[in-house]
Structures are given as C-alpha cells and as structure tokens.
Copies of this chain bind each other. A is one copy, B any other.
C-alpha cells in the first residue's frame, strides 16, 4: 500500500528573480510551498501515493495552490476550507556572501486559524502507512498544535508510522507557548525524527549539548537521550550542512537507529539554484528509502542526501527530481553531463 499523508501549511511564495534585492523587484515569481507539502511532492515524484491535508481559504489564490497539488498527483480531497487567507512568504534570493532573506506574512492564515476537530482523522488515516508532520504546524497557533496532536494520536492508534521534522523557526512560536511546552507531547509518538541534536533537545526542554558532541563516539550517547524522551522513536536523522556561501554548500547526513550511526559522504553543491526546501527534500528521500526498505538504513540516508543535494539545483520550494536522477548520483556520477 505505502500510502503517505502529510499535514501542514501551504503558502504562496513570492520570490525575487535573478538575485534581485526586494527593493529592486518589479515582479515576484509565484509558487506554492511549505515543509509538509514539499515532502508530499517529493514522494509523489517517486511514485508513492500521497495525500496532503491542510486548511485553505475559499479564494482564488488558494485555488491556485490546489491546482499545484493536483499537478503532482497529490490527493487533496480531505482538505478543509475556511478562514481568511493563504499564508505568504517573501523570498529574496542571495548569492555568495549575501544570504537569502525570508519575510513571513503568514499570521492569521487559514491554517493558523484551523478549528480543532475540523478534520476527521480516523477517516483520513484509514489504510495509510505513514503520517508526516513538522514542527512548523504547532509553531503557528494553538489550534494548529491541537489539531496536529489529534492527528498524531489517531495515527499512533491506527499503527501508522509517524515522522516529524523538527523545523524550528524562531520567528514563529508567537502565540504564547514555548516549544518545550508543546513539542514533547507531540514528539513522543514519533517513529522518525529529522533534526539536529541541539534542536531536538531544545524542543524537548533539555539543555543544549556540550559542543564536544561532534566527537563521533559521544553521538550515540546524546541521541540516546532523545530515544529516552520519545519512546516510539526508531530513527533519528539530520542533514549536515557546511555553508561555504549562499552559492556553495557541502551536504552530508547522519542517521542513528538506536544502535548504529550511519554517515553519508559529503557532496559539493555549487552553484545553489535554490536552497529553500532542501531539508524537505532530505525528508522526502528518507521516507521513501525507509518505506521501500526499512532495514537498509544506509541506503535510505544516501537517498535522502542525494535528494537534498539535487534539490539545490531546482527553483522553487519542492523537489522536482526523479528516482532515476537520484540513482545516477548515488552511483557516483556527479559530473552533470548533458543527456542526449
């Protein structure tokens, strides 16, 4: 079956083109994206049946987002409608030593004002293999956090695998609660967590780790803390990013399954066409890998890193990369030759 459901917010993304600064832009390129939607697109591109759940306003901008979902064969039939607006974020694309800038304009979005209980999770998650959510949803509003918890509990009861991308954004979490007040309850049902140790501990209300943890022998000890706090956890993974500049990244990844630390080789990513959504591409690759063979953790991690690298070459939030292209990169071909 392998059906996957992801739940979160989809936004209108308005980005400047050709490295222009906001003040130079006379047009904005318009696409639609968001962490959990981006994961859904990745999976759909790999041939996985996938459904996206969100709340949309009944206006023509949201109708465009809906068309985008359909284009990628993502099921949209359980989306709920209501509220005033689709969230927006503005993106100024950096280069070299000038980083990209995001200006969020997502407060009071339809997703943020979702009413608890408006989604029939029992029905949505029936016959589903995997449920994915991220730390952005509980960060945008109390009711979104509550709806997310509801979904997680139902998924857990139905035996659905649950993955969580921690996705900490300090500019969110404005509704009066701290991550550590909300996230532990949500994460305790997670089977797979994506995020670095510092973020994980912070969200779980623990102290930041000693900077010496990068010592590989100490890593399992640290990860084991997370496993203790999240009793359903089977796998924790994270991208390793070494940012040379906005235009040049070095990307690796690490995965721990409670027993073994898996590493993926660092890959050079230059130039960067668009790095937004590269974490979601990693997540999409990881879910795909684990869905296909839950035992081959090394391959799942490799797919995740390859997907993340290739995402940097694709404009927009989500990853338009095929399995064939991932396989090609995994086979060691990083040469980018013309296929003809």
Contact = CB atoms under 8 A, between A and B. Distances in A.
Interface centre among A107, A171, A272, A339 (most CB of B within 10 A): A339
B24 A336 contact: no
Interface in A261-287: 267-273, 275-276
Contacts of A29: 26-27
A101 B338 CA distance: 6
Contacts of A309: 96-97
A25 interface: yes
Contacts of A124: none
A213 interface: no
A96 B61 contact: no
A55 interface: no
Contact of A98 (B63, B67, B248, B313): B313
A336 B247 contact: yes
Given A99-B338, A103-B59, A340-B102, A24 B315 contact: yes
Contact of A102 (B63, B71, B101, B338): B338
Given A30-B25, A97-B310, A335 B245 contact: yes
Interface string A21-51: 1111111111100000000000000000000
Contacts of A90: 60-61
Contact of A97 (B71, B88, B313): B313
A30 B26 contact: yes
A316 B244 contact: no
A90 to B, nearest CB: 6
Nearest to A338: B100
Interface string A299-323: 0000000000110111110001100
A6 B19 CA distance: 28
A169 interface: yes
Interface string A324-340: 01000100001111111
A64 interface: yes
Contacts of A158: none
B71 A337 contact: no
7 contacts: A26-B31, A59-B103, A96-B313, A97-B313, A98-B313, A99-B337, A271-B271
Given A21-B320, A23-B67, 15 more contacts: A18-B315, A19-B314, A26-B26, A61-B105, A70-B71, A88-B105, A96-B270, A102-B340, A104-B340, A243-B335, A243-B336, A244-B335, A246-B335, A247-B271, A275-B338
Closest 8 CB pairs of A and B: A246-B336, A102-B340, A243-B335, A98-B313, A99-B336, A245-B336, A95-B313, A27-B27
